[in-house]
Structure 1
Amino acid sequence: MSNFYITTAIDYVNGSPHLGHAYEKVLTDVIARFRRQMGDNVFFLTGVDEHGQKVQQSARAKGIAPQQFCDEVSQEFRDLCAKLEISNDDFIRTTEPRHKKVVCEILQKLYDKGEIYKAEYKGFYSTRQEQFLQDKDRNPDGTWPEIFGEVTEITESNYFFKLRQYQDWLVDHLKTHEDFVFPRYRQKQVIEFLKEPLNDLCISRPKERLEWGIPLPFDENFVTYVWFDALTNYYTAVTEKPGFWPANFHVIGKDILVPPHAVYWPIMLKAAGIEPPRSLLVHGWWSINGSKMSKSTGNFVDPVAFADQYGTDALRYFVIREMSVGQDSDFSQTQFLARYNADLANNLGNLVNRTLNMTNRFAGGVIPEADAGASGELETELKTLWEKTRDEVITLNEGFQFHIALERTFSFVTATNAYIEKRAPWKLGKSAEPADQAALKTSLATMAESLRLANALLYAVIPGATAKIRDVIGAKTESNWRDELVWGARLTGNKVAESAILFPRPQTKTS
Structure 2
Amino acid sequence: MATGSSFSITTPIFYVNDAPHIGHAYTEVAADVLARWHRQAGDDTWMLTGTDEHGEKILRTATANGVTPQAWADKLVEDSWKPLLETIDIRNDDFIRTTEPRHEENVRRFLQKLYDDGFIYAGEYEGYYCVGCEEYKQLSELVDGTGEYEGLKVCAIHTKPVELLHEKNYFFRMSDFGERLLALYEERPEFVQPESARNEVVQFVRQGLSDLSISRSTFDWGVKVPWDDSHVVYVWFDALLNYITAAGYGSDDEAFARRWPAVHLVGKDILRFHAVIWPAMLMAAGLEVPARVFGHGWLLVGGEKMSKSKLTGIAPNEITDTFGSDAFRYYFMRAITLGQDGSFSWEDLSARYHAELANGFGNLASRGLSMVQRYFDGVVPESGTPGEAEQEIARIALGAAENADAAIDRLAVGDAIAQVWTLVDALNGYITEQEPWALAKDPGSRDRLATVLYTVTEGLRALAVLLSPVTPKAAAVLWDSLGATAGLGDLSAQPVRDAGRWGQLPAGTTVSVPAPLFPRIDESAQ
The residue number in structure 2 matching 1:454 is 463
Quote the Cα distance in structure 2 between the aligned partners of 1:420 and 1:133: 61
Please report how far the alpha carbon of residue 150 of structure 1 lies from its aligned counterpart in structure 2 after TM superposition.
1.8
TM-score (norm 2): 0.91
- Among 244, 253, 260, which residue is 1:246 paired with? 260
The residue number in structure 1 matching 2:96 is 92
The residue number in structure 1 matching 2:443 is 432
Quote the Cα distance in structure 2 between the aligned partners of 1:414 and 1:103: 51
Checking the alignment, whether the CA contact within 8 Å between 1:369 and 1:489 is kept in structure 2 is no
**2:50 aligned with 1:47, yes or no?**
yes
Quote the Cα distance in structure 1 between the aligned partners of 2:67 and 2:393: 63
**2:195 aligned with 1:187, yes or no?**
no
Structure 1 residues 417-426 or 216-225, which shifts more?
Answer: 417-426
Structure 2 unpaired stretches of 5+: 146-151, 486-490
Alignment of 1:220-369 (within 5 A): 220-239=229-248, 240=252, 241-258=255-272, 260-369=273-382
**2:76 aligned with 1:73, yes or no?**
yes
Structure 1 unpaired stretches of 5+: none
**2:521 aligned with 1:506, yes or no?**
yes
Structure 1 residues 209-218 or 240-249, which shifts more?
Answer: 240-249
Quote the Cα distance in structure 2 between the aligned partners of 1:60 and 1:36: 43
Quote the Cα distance in structure 2 between the aligned partners of 1:365 and 1:221: 73
What letter corresponds to residue 331 of structure 1 in structure 2? F
Residue 125 and residue 383 in structure 1: after superposition, are their counterparts in 2 closer, same or farther (change >3 A)? closer
Quote the Cα distance in structure 2 between the aligned partners of 1:448 and 1:394: 22
Q: Once the two structures are aligned, what percentage of the paired residues are identical?
A: 40
What letter corresponds to residue 32 of structure 1 in structure 2? A
Structure 1 residues 104-113 or 147-156, which shifts more?
Answer: 147-156
Structure 1 residues 466-475 or 30-39, which shifts more?
Answer: 30-39
Alignment of 1:361-510 (within 5 A): 361-372=374-385, 375-433=386-444, 436-476=445-485, 477=491, 478-509=493-524
**2:184 aligned with 1:173, yes or no?**
yes
The residue number in structure 2 matching 1:9 is 12
Residue 128 and residue 400 in structure 1: after superposition, are their counterparts in 2 closer, same or farther (change >3 A)? closer
Structure 1 residues 91-100 or 187-196, which shifts more?
Answer: 187-196
Residue 499 and residue 145 in structure 1: after superposition, are their counterparts in 2 closer, same or farther (change >3 A)? closer
Residue 391 and residue 130 in structure 1: after superposition, are their counterparts in 2 closer, same or farther (change >3 A)? closer
What letter corresponds to residue 353 of structure 1 in structure 2? S
Quote the Cα distance in structure 2 between the aligned partners of 1:391 and 1:132: 46
Checking the alignment, whether the CA contact within 8 Å between 2:214 and 2:233 is kept in structure 1 is yes
Quote the Cα distance in structure 1 between the aligned partners of 2:22 and 2:286: 37
Checking the alignment, whether the CA contact within 8 Å between 1:362 and 1:429 is kept in structure 2 is yes
Deviations 1:457-496 (A, max 9, x none): 1111111110110000112334543343211052411111
Checking the alignment, whether the CA contact within 8 Å between 1:473 and 1:491 is kept in structure 2 is no
Residue 416 and residue 312 in structure 1: after superposition, are their counterparts in 2 closer, same or farther (change >3 A)? same
RMSD: 2.0
Give the number of equivalent residue pairs: 504
1:7 is paired with a residue of what secondary structure? strand
Checking the alignment, whether the CA contact within 8 Å between 2:394 and 2:500 is kept in structure 1 is no
What letter corresponds to residue 256 of structure 1 in structure 2? I
Quote the Cα distance in structure 1 between the aligned partners of 2:126 and 2:305: 35
Checking the alignment, whether the CA contact within 8 Å between 2:401 and 2:497 is kept in structure 1 is no
Residue 291 and residue 133 in structure 1: after superposition, are their counterparts in 2 closer, same or farther (change >3 A)? closer
Structure 1 residues 142-151 or 104-113, which shifts more?
Answer: 142-151
2:257 is paired with a residue of what secondary structure? coil
TM-score (norm 1): 0.94
The residue number in structure 2 matching 1:202 is 213
Checking the alignment, whether the CA contact within 8 Å between 1:289 and 1:330 is kept in structure 2 is yes
Deviations 1:366-412 (A, max 9, x none): 1111122xx32322232233233332222222222221222232232
Residue 165 and residue 408 in structure 1: after superposition, are their counterparts in 2 closer, same or farther (change >3 A)? closer
Checking the alignment, whether the CA contact within 8 Å between 1:472 and 1:500 is kept in structure 2 is no
Quote the Cα distance in structure 1 between the aligned partners of 2:14 and 2:437: 53
Residue 298 and residue 120 in structure 1: after superposition, are their counterparts in 2 closer, same or farther (change >3 A)? closer
Checking the alignment, whether the CA contact within 8 Å between 1:352 and 1:500 is kept in structure 2 is no
Please report how far the alpha carbon of residue 126 of structure 1 lies from its aligned counterpart in structure 2 after TM superposition.
2.4
Checking the alignment, whether the CA contact within 8 Å between 1:5 and 1:43 is kept in structure 2 is yes
The residue number in structure 2 matching 1:34 is 37
1:281 is paired with a residue of what secondary structure? strand
Please report how far the alpha carbon of residue 282 of structure 1 lies from its aligned counterpart in structure 2 after TM superposition.
1.3
